[in-house]
Structure formats: C-alpha cells, structure tokens
Homo-oligomer: A and B are copies of this chain.
C-alpha cells in the first residue's frame, strides 16, 4: 500500500565526544536504509560526537547572566552559555530566554540543553553548522553503504502560542526542506499562493513519534516520502526554513 513508514534506528550506543558517529549510525542503520529514505538524526548525538558539550565548571558568568539567574533561581553559568550561543535576544522574561542562534534559529535557551547529557554540570550546544553535519552524514551513507538518502538533523523547539514542543529540522542535506506548491492550482483551479510546506519540519516531527524521549533512540528512517531531491547536497539547507527578517512579524 502507498504510504510512509517511520522506522526507529535501534542499537545506537551512548555517543561520546570524538566518537565516529558516521560509523555508529552506518552500523545501526545498515540493513534498514534504502535509496530515497530520509534519515532523521537528533542533534544531541551529532553535538556530542562533535564535542559540543560545555563543562559549566569552566564558565565564568557575566553580570547579566548572574543577575538574571539570581532573579529566577537559575544556574548563572548555564545562562551565560545561553547568552554566548545567542546573537540576538528575542524575549527575556520570567526566567526564560528566547533568542536567535548564530544559525538564525529562534528558540528557547539558544538550543542549550542539559537533558540527555552525561554529567550533572554539562550542557549540550547545537552543532556549529547543522547543515554541514547533515551533509557529512549523507555523503558518508552514500560512500559507506552505497545508499543515496536525504538527512535531516532535528531538535525539539517550542512554538509561539502553542503548548508543547515538536521536533523540527535544524540541518538538511540531499532534499529541498520545502515543498513549494505556488504556481500550481488546487483541484478547483484556485492558485495556491500560500502553499509552501515545511516538509523537513514535518519529517522531523514524524520521526520523533518513534523516538520518544526516554528510550535512547536518536535516529529514525522515513521511507516512502517523495521529497524533492537536491543532488548537489551543498545547495540544500535548513536555512530555507527561516523566516527572512524583513517578513518576520515577531522579531
């Protein structure tokens, strides 16, 4: 039957800084990965393998970090890391920081996260360039397994106006993250001007459904979704999922 399948990639061990994530994922996904699949990987294992962990004992908080942390009972060192990972603060209130990361993502705490990280005083940052991370994984799967796939690096983001987090795409390789129906007509002949679908975000969210938060499944395979292939993986980017500043009504 036509449809889409979402398969958990099981048997991935705890990933540590310097680990060869490509070898680990290639091993775990080897028999399951088919040409045309989308491999969705949570950024947490990518960040860990890339050494994007910070030992808070090494962090000297700034005055702003100290005062904000003390007002809301937070760890000033963790606030300091959030400020350092931000290029612009969007909202800062009630102990929460919503900021724009260097990548251009707007999210809570600039993506700095203490969950699913070994060590009480360690926090995890986003990959330096999650498109590059995605591209490396994609190229490696092609080289090692001989299988052309698309890769999405995911993270859990909150949303304005809605409760709860969902997984979205912060890195993309091998596919257009958007499905653009503009210029086409709906079945009634009406032009679909507003119909640009953020399918990479939907793929990331779909993958989350088989990952859970406690089961240690950091990757999933989506099969049967006909994405727009981007053969030169360099031209595929999660930055296409960012609202251009001049069109952003919520800066």
Contact = CB atoms under 8 A, between A and B. Distances in A.
Interface of A: 1-8, 14, 32, 91, 93-94, 96, 98, 105-106, 108, 114-120, 156, 159-168, 177-179, 181, 184-188, 190, 192, 194-199, 201-203, 205-206, 208-210, 212-214, 216, 222, 225, 240-244, 247-250
B4 A3 contact: no
A20 to B, nearest CB: 21
Given A166-B197, A197-B156, A5 B5 contact: yes
A164 B4 contact: no
A8 B226 CA distance: 14
A91 B250 contact: yes
Contact of A196 (B1, B160, B165): B165
Contact of A192 (B105, B213, B248): B213
Contact of A214 (B187, B222, B225): B187
- Work out how many copies of this chain go into the complex: 2
A248 B188 CA distance: 38
Contacts of A14: 187
A198 B162 contact: yes
Contact of A195 (B2, B120, B165, B250): B165
Given A160-B106, A165-B198, A190 B2 contact: no
Given A91-B249, A184-B214, A214-B181, A198 B166 contact: yes
Nearest to A106: B161
A120 B189 CA distance: 9
A156 to B, nearest CB: 7
